[in-house]
Amino acid sequence: MAYPDDLLSDGERVVTHKHPHFKMLVVPIVVLLVVLAGGGWLAVLAGDVDPPWDLVALIAIGAVGLLLVVWLFLVPFVRWRTTHFIVTTDRVIAREGVLKRTGIDIPMARINSVRFEHGLLDRVFGCGTLIIESASDEPLTFDDIPSVERVHTMIYRQVNDNPYDDYGYAEPDPTEQLPHGGQEPPPSTQGRGR
């Protein structure tokens, strides 16, 4: 889902837009599979119960299963889907939440330093923690950022505002900028003593 253009300033453009890494959904997906498998197994066992208790058992299993799926899978999934980390040409934006929405914007001009951390498991998944230090606030920590090294570099380049340090950009050829076909102009004789 792209960041809404109407929330950007004039001339501002999105450099990158990320959700937290998918690894934060590994445990909820495992829980979903366990609940579905356990619910199916209990439903088969409930088939051996005498009527009308078999129907009561099935309804109870379904209700508990639904509650567990909503609480342990659906809520984390919606939280993951509604968490946004955006880098624009002017600021870093973080938004999260459904019912209670929170957000922070950090202007590029106020960023003092940006660093990242990732352990072995984060490196396997290709994510990490991004830490941004701004002019007057405590460092802000953003967990589970996908391709954290690349995002770190993007923010660094936006802060320094140097398009020639971007990967894929070639340094300008100094011979193209000099007059006389790349030759230094002849020294001027004005201002020398006679």
The reported pTM is 0.70
Q: What is the mean pLDDT of the chain?
A: 83
Residue 194 has pLDDT above 50, yes or no: no
What's the whole-number mean pLDDT along residues 73-84? 94
What's the whole-number mean pLDDT along residues 149-164? 82
CB atoms closer than 10 angstroms to residue 132: 23
Poorest-pLDDT segment among 6-15, 82-91, 107-116, 137-146? 6-15
Contact between residue 20 and residue 83 where contact means Cβ atoms under 8 Å apart: yes
DSSP state of 71: I
Poorest-pLDDT segment among 9-13, 42-46, 185-189? 185-189
Per DSSP, helices labelled H in the chain are 26-46, 53-69, 75-81, 120-125, 148-160, 174-177
186 pLDDT tier (thresholds 50, 70, 90)? low
What's the whole-number mean pLDDT along residues 139-163? 87
Name which residue leads in pLDDT, 81 or 7: 81
